[in-house]
Structure 1
């Protein structure tokens, strides 16, 4: 794909934007990053072009804080975190990240009424829990957090301008609706059917959506010039993003279920407000997490698993690896087998890092030498991984390439020739650690486990010495005893890996 296609169509009324082929997506003028990302408006991968080559704005739709988050939410935010880390650490883009928190909503009000508490108390409780859950998954907190209840004034100003421009109208009950009939581009993210019949809610057209909901008894409300009420869902993000980032946004992200109507409505009202043909340049949508046999994980289906619950069985690194070996855009089917596969992949890297350390620190080795085949393989993997990440953040290909690199390195680690190649092994180790940590994996031991890990190290080293002696003497009884120790360690969540150069271990869940 050429970076700059030849364009035959022009939109003279759109400043600094060009139509991309025959789609409704408009390619920004600016600095190409070399990255291509799928955009639902263009329905294809498009080049990421930024006004500043190293700075980009990013807004993620955050939670409606009425209940605990589950691992469906976790997969969305972990995958968004991975994409953000890739842009920042592989392509040197300084991301200014923001996230909106919906702390006024029908579900929050319902929960408050059910529990006999104030809606603000409910929202604060679950928002605090949400951030704690994300921290436990090593998801970086956004630089800017916007809450609806704290931005009523900017939402009011946004709606006021829409009413004045006649892109919105006030209904009899004090609600305000966006007039989709006056926005020809409505449906560019995802075309939706329209019966053409007015609804009983006071809307002129069935596809019109609420910017403001007229006051109802028992609900929180704010007084504005057209009447008391509270913001509609879609207007919140548009108003808060416009306040923070102005009339143009580089990246807008969220789950695939938000593409329509939420993101469609955001784009429509924001383009109308700013009088532009394109508000968000790049839409990032994360596929659902499915429970095997179900359409998706959701509270309505009562098939949710809380984030603390999953972390009782699997580590945050394992869950992140499951996200890395899947495609961020497509559904991820959750089951125990997926998590076991992710854990096996993660442990393969952990074992390699430990086995490589043993190999490099082998004091009985011969004089060190270079192993050019491994160095050549390393260079090819580095180049291929950059290309994979440029192609819509293809992390699964990167993980496969790293596993292939580990297999090549193990041919040296397990060789009986006596050759010693510490430099290519160390370079391979540093590269693998670099990629995995840039993806957000920690690969580190907690401070509390250092002492117990030291004891395990001692036991594993002692067992290795005994096992080598037993192999030399062909002592079956002693070998069986060593196997018994290995099995008992595994029952205690410690998995041992034996090689002729030494034994290593990793903790498992």
Structure 2
């Protein structure tokens, strides 16, 4: 029996009185369960994913504030969100409509504009263009809808005006507009331990009230509104743009864990007040920080960031994505040489297996092929276990471990001393592994080195070395074996790694 949550029907939510946040529970949406569960910060546990239409869902990601280059902390967040979106679409058969907001009006952009003596619009355009190039280099799918604050000023104006008219917000003497958190008793439901709110301001009625509109200051961009000149506050921008695109209800709202409070808390509060509902976003997806040197968060303020182009000089995008796949999206992820080395080793194991499988299936075996029920049973069990793991809060780490176990068992069959030949199950496993990894967003392509070194030339060299090495092993010729090792090491220095076994030798390109 599915667990029942202490909830109120969404259809009745408009007439229910709002309760203090300590009593607020996650409201189970009306609709159809898709058979998957996701962690929800309001419920503080995993809850069923329920969609109004079982095959259609809306998704909004908080995009960058485009005042500087993105770093790999941002990369880990967006790669993990990309993986979750791919799982929803490809494994759970959801038609996902994705949107992302770009903050191109903000304090930091204005500061960079003043420092560089460049119009704030140019600053924003430069770094947004760079952001999309970085996302493409990481094989992150671009959202279907992109909303920029500068394009939605009238939308934001209407949003703020309605809150003022409904007495959920108030205008101060300087022309700023604040959301009145006392008019929304559920404030704090995303993060029960409330912080101090915005900086102290004599115009604010309550310390937790937050700015919807900031009064004009000399040298800053400004727009004339009925309540005064100024510019939008950060939190209201996303709510207004999402409401325009998706209406009064949103399925998934995603971002880094640092946005849970106050940004997402404030979004939920003002959006519920605007639409007169009790729950706006049904599922909040928060990604853990990327850490360096133990528990240190990677951030620009700590000056410990690594740019995405710098990352890709050291590691391929596939290696970085593999590191993301082997960590839980909600937990902090460590970035270190050891973590990246492990990710590269995992990736190479898969690439070696796929090449070995191709060689095995296309060899000149004289025996007839067989099906080998045990191998097919292993494949079926892995498929079932992986689907269950993905349905359980997108547990990709378990999937990667299951795949490694599967190819390990397949390798034992391929490299067995017997003359048994099982092309069908090996092909099916190779196809499944390829499908899983590419669906997760891995490209599994060889590096640019292959444009310099012909694949056929490398194949010939590896095959020749393999023949020489086997003869040397049979004669126990240490001198020839040492020469084979020198060739292997030399090839590795040329970004070609050789994998030896008694039956075959294969190779992959490495970064």
Q: TM-score, normalised by structure 2?
A: 0.95
Pick closer, same or farther for the CA change 1:184–1:357 going to 2, 3 Å.
same
Mapped to 1, the partners of 2:198 and 2:244 lie a distance apart of 35
Residues 23 and 457 (structure 1), Cα distance of their counterparts in 2 relative to 1, 3 Å cut: farther
Structure 2, unaligned runs of 5 or more: none
The answer for the alignment partner of 1:297 in structure 2 is 298
Matches within 5 A, 1:207-286: 207-286=208-287
Offset, 1:403: 0.5
Q: Which residue of 2 aligns with 1:468?
A: 470
Provide the C-alpha distance between the structure 2 equivalents of 1:350 and 1:505, rounded to a whole number of angstroms.
Answer: 9
Instruction: Name 2:495's counterpart in structure 1.
Output: 493
The CA deviation at 1:448 is 7.4
Q: Greater CA deviation, 180-189 or 449-458?
A: 449-458
Structure 2 match to 1:508: 510
Cα distance in 1 for residues equivalent to 2:468 and 2:97: 56
Deviations 1:377-436 (A, max 9, x none): 110010011110000000000000000001110110110111000011011101111110
Give the equivalent residue in structure 1 for 2:435. Answer: 434
Alpha-carbon distance in structure 2 between the residues aligned to 1:42 and 1:72: 27
For the 8 Å contact 2:79–2:321, the answer to whether it is kept is yes
Q: Is the 8 A contact 2:9 2:29 kept in 1?
A: no
Q: What's the Cα RMSD here?
A: 2.0
1:317 matches 2:318: yes
Does the C-alpha gap of structure 1 residues 63 and 16 become closer, same or farther in structure 2, counting only changes over 3 Å? farther
SS in structure 1 opposite 2:219?
coil
Equivalent pair of 1:365/1:419 in contact (CA under 8 Å) = no
- Report deviation, 1:447: 7.5
Q: Deviations over 1:63-109 (max 9, x none)?
A: 00000000000000000000000000001101100000000111001
Would you say the 8 A contact 1:194–1:206 is kept in 2? no
Residue 500 of structure 1 and its aligned partner are, at CA, apart by 2.1
The answer to whether 1:389 aligns with 2:366 is no
**Residue number in structure 1 paired with 2:410:** 409
State how far apart, in whole Å, the 2-side matches of 1:75 and 1:252 are. 17
The separation in 1 between residues aligned to 2:453 and 2:196, in whole angstroms, is 66
Residues 461-487 of structure 1, C-alpha deviation per residue, up to 9 Å, x if partnerless?
Answer: 221122222223333222211111001
| Map of 2:12 onto structure 1 | 13
Hey, what does 1:444 align to over in structure 2?
445
1:508 shift after superposition? 1.6
Contact 1:23-1:42 at 8 Å conserved across structures:
no
2:105 and 2:150 in contact (8 A); partners too: yes
8 Å contact 1:38–1:392 — kept in the other structure? yes
CA contact (8 A) 1:168 1:176 kept: yes
1:318-375, Cα deviation, whole Å (9 max, x unpaired): 0000000000000001111000000000101000001111111111341111111111
SS in 2 for 1:278: coil
Give SS of 1:27's match: coil
The alignment status of 1:458 with 2:478, answered yes or no, reads no
The Cα shift of 1:23 comes to: 5.4
After superposition, residues 64-463 of structure 1 pair within 5 angstroms as 64-193=65-194, 199-445=200-446, 449-450=450-451, 452-454=453-455, 455-463=457-465
Deviation at 1:279, TM superposition (A): 0.3
TM-score after normalising by structure 1: 0.96
Contact 1:198 1:204 in 2 (8 A): no
| 2: CA distance, partners of 1:498 / 1:445 | 19
- By how many angstroms is 1:501 displaced? 2.2
- Cα distance change on mapping 1:407 and 1:492 into 2, 3 Å: same
- In structure 1, C-alpha distance between the alignment counterparts of 2:199 and 2:80, rounded to whole Å: 40
Partner deviation per Cα, 1:247-274 (whole Å, 9 max, x = no partner): 0000000000000000000000000000
